[in-house]
Structure 1
Amino acid sequence: MVWISLFSAAALEVVWALALKRSDGLSQLGPSLVFLVAAIGSVVLLSLALQRLPVGTAYAIWTGTGAVGTALLGMALLGEAATPSRLAAIALIAAGIVWLALTEA
């Protein structure tokens, strides 16, 4: 259950980051509300995961997974650059997340 909470928190981090981009500086009501709800949900789920996981592990996995997801969806949905070096860097972050998660399993 702790891992479900943590990865759900990371998924909501992706949602709030993309909503923040779409909010145009929090000037668009719909995306701004999505940002707010997703950000609160993400932090609440992270707090549940922190009850059982070390803070360094949980925080690194939360931010890393959110960063990977946001970068990939930024490329897929927003037309952001998908250069080989950028994809390689994202792959390294993802590998670090898996390695870290496996050390806590």
Structure 2
Amino acid sequence: MYWVILCIAGLLEVVWAFYMKRSEGFTLFIPSTITVATMIASGVLLSFSMRVLPLGTAYTVWTGIGAVGSFVLGVAILGEPASPMRLIAGFLIVFGIVVMKLSST
């Protein structure tokens, strides 16, 4: 259950990063509101998952989901480049998340 909560927190991190980009420096009300609301929700869920999961594992997985998810959205929706080096870096982050998860069971 705590892993599911952590994954949801990570996905919310992706949402707030995306809407932060869309907020144009917090000058647009709706994207700014979504950013702040999902930041809070993500932090609360991360905190809840840390009741059981180790700090290093929970934080690494949370930031990893956020980083890779933001990278994917940037490429898929915002037209950011998907160069070979960026793809390798994304793969290495995912690999690190999997290893971190496996080391915590």
Mark yes or no: TM-score above 0.5: yes
1-structure distance, mates of 2:100, 2:56: 10
Q: In structure 2, what is the equivalent of residue 60 of structure 1?
A: 60
- After superposition, what is the alpha-carbon deviation per residue over 1:57-84, rounded to whole angstroms, capped at 9, x for unaligned? 1001100111000011100000001001
Structure 1, unmatched stretches of 5+, are: none
Structure 2, unmatched stretches of 5+, are: none
Q: In structure 1, what is the equivalent of residue 36 of structure 2?
A: 36
Quote the RMSD (CA, aligned, Å).
0.5
The alignment's TM-score, normalised by the length of structure 2, stands at: 0.98
Q: In structure 2, what is the equivalent of residue 27 of structure 1?
A: 27
The alignment's TM-score, normalised by the length of structure 1, stands at: 0.98
Q: In structure 2, what is the equivalent of residue 96 of structure 1?
A: 96
Percent of aligned pairs sharing the same letter? 50
- What is the letter of the counterpart of residue 47 of structure 2? S
- After superposition, what is the alpha-carbon deviation per residue over 1:26-69, rounded to whole angstroms, capped at 9, x for unaligned? 00001001001100000000011000011011001100111000
The offset of 1:103, in angstroms, is: 1.1
2-structure distance, mates of 1:65, 1:32: 21
